[in-house]
Amino acid sequence: MTAALDGMIAATAPRVIRERGQREVFCGLTGIIWLHRKIQDAFFLVVGSRTCAHLIQSAAGVMIFAEPRFATAIIEERDLAGLADMNTELDLAVSQLLERRPDIKMLFLVGSCPSEVIKLDLGRAAARLSREHAPRVRILSYSGSGIETTFTQGEDACLAALVPELPTAPSGSPQETDSRSLLVVGSLAEVVEDQFRRIFDDLGIGPVHFLPPRRAADLPPVGPNTSFLLAQPFLAETARVLEERGATRLPAPFPFGAEGTTAWLAAAASAWNVPNARFLSTISPSRERSRGALARFRAELAGKRVFFFPDSQLEVPLARFLATELGMELIEVGTPYLHRAHLAEELELLPAGTVLSEGQHVERQLDRCRAAQPDITVCGLGLANPLEAEGLTTKWSIELLFTPIHGYEQATDLAGLFARPLRRHRDLASCA
Amino acid sequence: MRLTLWTYEAPPHVGAMRIATAMEGVHYVLHAPQGDTYADLLFTMIERQSKRPPVTYTTFQARDLGGDTAVLFKTAVAEAYERFQPQAIMVGASCTAELIQDDPGGLARALNLPIPVVALELPSYQKKENWGAAETFYRLVRALADPACARHTGGRPRCNVLGPAALGFRHRDDITEITDLLDRIGVDVGVVAPLGASPADMARLGEADFNIVLYPEIASTAARWLERTFHQPTVATVPIGVGATRDFIAEVARVAGIEVPAELAASASRLPWYSHSVDSTYLTGKRVFIFGDATHAIAAARIAKDELGFTVVGLGTYGREFAREVREAAALYGIEALITDDYLEVEALVSELQPDLVLGTQMERHIAKRLGIPCAVISAPVHVQDFPARHSPQMGFEGANVIFDTWVHPLMMGLEEHLLTMFRDDFEFSAEAAPSHLGHAAAASPATLQPATPQSAPESDTSDWAPDAERELRKVPFFVRGKARRNTERFARDRGIALITVETLYHAKAHFSS
């Protein structure tokens, strides 16, 4: 842990508001939009309703026209009425699809609210279809339904479904550092992956693998000698099943900002017994560069008050970054789900008395937000324009998933995402 | 089960949202799982509404299913009533809630709210968005129109204008255009609905002498009921195009029993003259493929043939409810209508026909782009750019002006592009040449005529790129890569760095990013 962070450790635990009511959030199907870009020979077939197809279409924007690797098998009246055997229908849809797309090596059957309420067993369907289409295509299943998952939890469910497929890493005694490997978990932009890989190489940490891989054939090995770092905070289930396979999680804050990235890398360095001097000499140029660039944003953002609506589970780490590295003030940090173990290091770094909220009653949360009149409100696209029209400045949160924001080199991009709406608000003041 | 990538229409509850969002003083409580709130962003982002849609979702999750989702629903209705104080409330289920079989209507009525509660049955696994909108509007009209409402007396003839809704393609501006046209015909507008109407407005639908259905997909069911209940005739001509607008004026005058001012019947649009001007001669016989909702597709075909002199080679719709009308229209052009909601079928037909112009929805725009064919958008579904800030109706005489420009523009562009490609090897048109209005200072010498990759043009003679830095640069998205290269080279030059490494690249990025 770095000295800069030590000084900010909260004296008291954060207060948590727990609420139930309307949740203005996406379901886990949305994760497909970025996951399919990441695993380049995988296809995601949602088994659901027209609503599911329409959701994906609305969230994917123009991507839908580029022959993307996702689709929906829409359940129809005749399926529900028992006129057609749904498993036969599904097999037919899968065959049709694989015929059309011979380049596909991995197919995910993605469960939705309708498919789960009618108890269509996609796990069994995946096993059956896998036998039929082996070895050309591996077929897996997971749930992206709104009743089971919120937004980014779709990625968690997808990666967790991949874990049983991972090859077993060579065993060896824990003393032989040769047999150890590091697994970075959570889909990252390729440029970010490459940056991290270079740093780990320079630190002498390796071999390093990433989950998800870029290609279905490159599944990383896992075993008792695997240590893993979570790159995203929403991977509870994936972490659990990795631990079941003997892998060990390296506790760390998430790699956002100069200090978050340093602490995240330090967790691996300390597990690999990298001497402190070597660690510092390796990361210092990047950290200093990042710190210097962030200082300019700090001058602009310090003291600004921010309110987070729940969306992606990125809220706590991002709030920590905004508070500790940019001097912003946290009014309320909403998250759909608060994983206390995975966020332990983050929660310690939050300023004393930070108010967190888990779950949502959107109307009451809007009341609190309006009463607080934050300088910037982080929220989804359904709320952003209406709040702007009320005079609040907003940052729409989905961009935080689509933009590379991890690591040293992206720290200023991350700060920029919050600075831009404020600058715009200021620049347009005269024409309001 | 049907394999689907693109859907022309949303599920029917989104149709209901379009009605609720269009109106004032109505609230919709939707029994739906967590995640269905995604539909809000259609209204706040695509249509850029400044208010949230008046919809409360129960957003149930798996853990609620074992318990009492019915209680969850009743709580949501009670809270929505208390918070929003609507004059009427609509209740219904989305596709998943339809499967769990709570009864939204019964549950809401059990609360004994002092306002009308309109229960919607929208079969999600059979029907789609437009049907949902029509059914919802019809249910609201039935529930809210006051049966004792007396016909107005005295003054000019009065009509209701029915059909405009939220997320409607150009509905906002069509209303302005048609209201103004009716005024000039000598007819007053009683109620415009659902767009802008409150339950109190709906109560006085019976005051009008007749109804105008602007968008049959949404309003014809309700209009038929009003015809039976209040004996109000329906004007069914949709005034898109000069000819159709003239027919519309004639029909309104006949139904209202008035004479139309002579100058109004004459052309008030520039389309006829523009289309006659010699500049338009090259439009003659251009082969056009038309696809969209039935109303816009049928109207477009008439304009294409009669007003622009195109040849209609394909006509179709995704709206099965109006398949008969489209088949009849297609017969006028000696072709067979394409009735499908599968965009792959549309794409197959377009590539087979190879038309000169495609008129369609957002999807046809992309099909046409892929096939390199000019295209204009005439119907929903549309993206954000087709909810423009400027006044751009499709209906009435100004609508005809808008249509002329919109359809001819891509053809002119297509022609320009064609010429540019043809003369690509001429030095004036090469990729290296500066635009002509910048003068000749930057004009390329014949030596640069060889096809050169634009990115590889040397920008600096002082710095070299290390191979790994060059590779890293290629990871920057193409649309900012040029800027990244220039910034990095400037950064290196200013500091006398001879070899640009990955480190230099990121030093520069950090330097310039603030």
CA distance B138 to B234: 15
CA distance B473 to B460: 16
Whether A243 and A206 map to the same domain: the answer is yes
Contact B77, B29 (CB under 8 A): yes
The amino acid occupying position B37 is T
The amino acid occupying position B302 is R
Closest CA to A184 of A209, A160, A216: A209
Topology of the domain covering B158-264: Rossmann fold (3.40.50)
Whether A108 and A217 map to the same domain: the answer is no
CA distance A145 to B121: 23
Intra-chain end-to-end CA distance of chain B, in Å? 51
User: What SS3 state is found at B200?
Assistant: helix
Whether A45 and A70 map to the same domain: the answer is yes
Mutation site for B-interface testing, chosen from A30, A113, A408 by largest number of B Cβ within 10 Å: A113
Q: Determine the pLDDT at residue A382.
A: 93
Topology of the domain covering B12-144: Rossmann fold (3.40.50)
Does the distance separating the beta carbons of A53 and B4 come in below 8 Å? yes
The amino acid occupying position B503 is E
Task: Verify cis geometry, omega within 30 degrees of 0, for the bond prior to A212.
Answer: yes
Q: Which residues of B are catalytic?
A: 279
- Tokens 């000084």, residue? A7
Does the distance separating the beta carbons of B99 and A80 come in below 8 Å? yes
Asked whether residue A286 is assigned to any structural domain, the reply reads no
Whether A213 and A304 map to the same domain: the answer is no
Q: Kindly list the strands in the beta sheet with B88-93, ordered across the sheet, starting from the edge strand earlier in the chain.
A: B55-57, B26-31, B88-93, B117-119
- Predicted confidence (pLDDT) per residue in B375-390, tens digit: 999 999 999 999 999 9
Please calculate the CA angle A141-A144-A148 and round it to the nearest 5 degrees. 110
CATH number of residue A380's parent domain: 3.40.50.1980
Does the complex come out with an ipTM higher than 0.85?
yes
Whether A264 and A384 map to the same domain: the answer is no
Helix (H) or strand (E) holding B191: strand B188-193
B-facing residues of A in 112-151 (CB < 8 A) are 113-114, 116-118, 145-148, 150
Length of chain A: 432
Domain of residue A70: give its range.
28-149
Phi, psi (rounded to 5 degrees) for A70 = -150, 155
B-facing residues of A in 219-248 (CB < 8 A) are none
Does the distance separating the beta carbons of B44 and A385 come in below 8 Å? yes
Q: Report the relative pairing of strands A70-74 and B2-4 from DSSP bridges.
A: antiparallel
Neighbours of A425 (CB within 10 A): 17
Whether A320 and A403 map to the same domain: the answer is yes
- Per the annotation, does B415 bind a ligand? yes
DSSP string, A190-247: HHHHHHHHHHHHHHT---EEEES-SSGGGPPPBSTTEEEEESSTT-HHHHHHHHHTT-
Whether A210 and A87 map to the same domain: the answer is no
Does the distance separating the beta carbons of A117 and B96 come in below 8 Å? yes
Contact B88, B199 (CB under 8 A): yes
Q: How far is A134 from chain B (nearest CA, A)?
A: 22
Bind-site residues of A for [4Fe-4S] cluster: 27, 52, 113
Asked whether residue A231 is assigned to any structural domain, the reply reads yes
A201 touches chain B (CB under 8 A): no
Q: Determine the pLDDT at residue A375.
A: 98
Mutation site for B-interface testing, chosen from A326, A385, A423 by largest number of B Cβ within 10 Å: A385
Band (pLDDT 50/70/90 cuts) for residue B5 is confident
CATH of B270-409, one of 3.30.565.10, 3.40.50.1980, 3.40.50.1370, 2.40.240.20: 3.40.50.1980
- Per the annotation, does B41 bind a ligand? no
- Tokens 């079928």, residue? B345
Q: Of A280, A301, A331, which residue constitutes the final position of a domain? A: A280
Q: How far is B346 from chain A (nearest CA, A)?
A: 14
- For A2-12, b/e burial (b = at least 16 CB within 10 A) is eeebeebeeee
DSSP A254: -
Contact A346, A317 (CB under 8 A): yes
Across the strands, what pairs with A227?
Answer: A182, A248
B-facing residues of A in 263-292 (CB < 8 A) are 285-286, 289-290, 292
Domain ranges of chain B: 12-144, 158-264, 270-409, 464-513
DSSP string, B51-119: S--SEEE--B-HHHHSS-HHHHHHHHHHHHHHHH--SEEEEEE-HHHHHHT--HHHHHHTT--SS-EEE
CA distance A407 to A13: 27
Q: Determine the pLDDT at residue A201.
A: 97
Q: Determine the pLDDT at residue B447.
A: 40
Q: Is the dihedral angle over the CA atoms A384, A387, A391, A394 positive or is it negative?
A: negative
Q: Report the relative pairing of strands A394-396 and A376-379 from DSSP bridges.
A: parallel
Asked whether residue A157 is assigned to any structural domain, the reply reads no
Closest CA to B302 of B326, B278, B320, B321: B326
User: What SS3 state is found at B183?
Assistant: helix
- Per the annotation, does B426 bind a ligand? no
CA distance A125 to B351: 36
* Residue A248 tokens, joined: 């060990």
Whether A193 and A224 map to the same domain: the answer is yes
Q: Determine the pLDDT at residue B442.
A: 43
CA distance B257 to B240: 23
Asked whether residue A161 is assigned to any structural domain, the reply reads no
Which of A27, A50, A84 is opposite residue B35, by nearest beta carbon? Answer: A27
Name the burial class of residue B103, with classes exposed (0-12), middle (13-18) and buried (19+) by CB atoms within 10 angstroms of its CB: middle
Topology of the domain covering B464-513: Helicase, Ruva Protein; domain 3 (1.10.8)
A295 touches chain B (CB under 8 A): no
Q: In total, how many domains does chain A have?
A: 3
Phi, psi (rounded to 5 degrees) for B192 = -100, 125
User: What SS3 state is found at B266?
Assistant: coil
CA distance B247 to B431: 50
DSSP string, A325-336: HH--EEEEEEES
Neighbours of B435 (CB within 10 A): 7
Query: Per-residue confidence of chain A (432 residues) as pLDDT tens digits?
Result: 444 444 444 445 778 999 999 999 999 999 999 999 999 999 999 999 999 999 998 888 767 777 789 999 999 998 898 767 899 999 999 999 999 899 999 999 999 999 999 999 999 999 999 999 989 999 999 999 999 999 999 999 999 999 999 999 887 665 555 689 999 999 999 999 999 999 999 999 989 999 999 999 999 999 999 999 999 999 999 999 999 999 999 999 999 999 999 999 999 999 999 999 999 999 999 999 999 999 999 999 999 999 999 999 999 999 999 999 999 999 999 999 999 999 999 999 999 989 999 999 999 999 999 999 999 999 999 999 999 999 999 999 989 998 999 999 999 999 999 999 999 998 988 776
Whether A338 and A369 map to the same domain: the answer is yes
Contact B30, B13 (CB under 8 A): yes
Q: Of A280, A302, A318, which residue constitutes the final position of a domain? A: A280
CA distance B110 to B102: 13
CA distance B92 to A93: 31
Q: Kindly list the strands in the beta sheet with A42-48, ordered across the sheet, starting from the edge strand earlier in the chain.
A: A138-143, A106-111, A42-48, A70-74, B2-4
Whether A112 and A197 map to the same domain: the answer is no
Interhelix angle B171-185/B396-422, nearest 10 degrees: 130
Contact B69, B60 (CB under 8 A): yes
Region of A397 (left: φ > 0; alpha: ψ -120 to 50; beta: rest) is alpha
pLDDT, mean over chain B: 90
Is the model's pLDDT at B56 over the cut of 90? yes
Q: Determine the pLDDT at residue A60.
A: 82
Which of B95, B366, B506 is opposite residue A49, by nearest beta carbon? Answer: B95
Tell me which chain B residues have a C-beta less than 8 angstroms from the C-beta of A93. Answer: 1-3
* Residue B326 tokens, joined: 């489209």
- Predicted confidence (pLDDT) per residue in B84-120, tens digit: 999 999 999 999 999 998 999 999 999 999 999 999 9
Tell me which chain A residues have a C-beta less than 8 angstroms from the C-beta of B38. Answer: 26-27, 30, 55, 58-59, 382
Which of A64, A145, A194 is opposite residue B5, by nearest beta carbon? Answer: A64
Does the distance separating the beta carbons of B99 and A118 come in below 8 Å? yes
- For B312-348, b/e burial (b = at least 16 CB within 10 A) is bbbbbbbbbbbbebbbebbeebebebbbbbbbeebbe
Whether A55 and A140 map to the same domain: the answer is yes
| Distances A139 to A109, A162, A220, B81, B94 between C-alpha atoms, Å | 7, 10, 17, 47, 30
B270-409 shares its CATH topology with B464-513: no
Whether A426 and A307 map to the same domain: the answer is yes
- Mean pLDDT of the region B264-290: 89
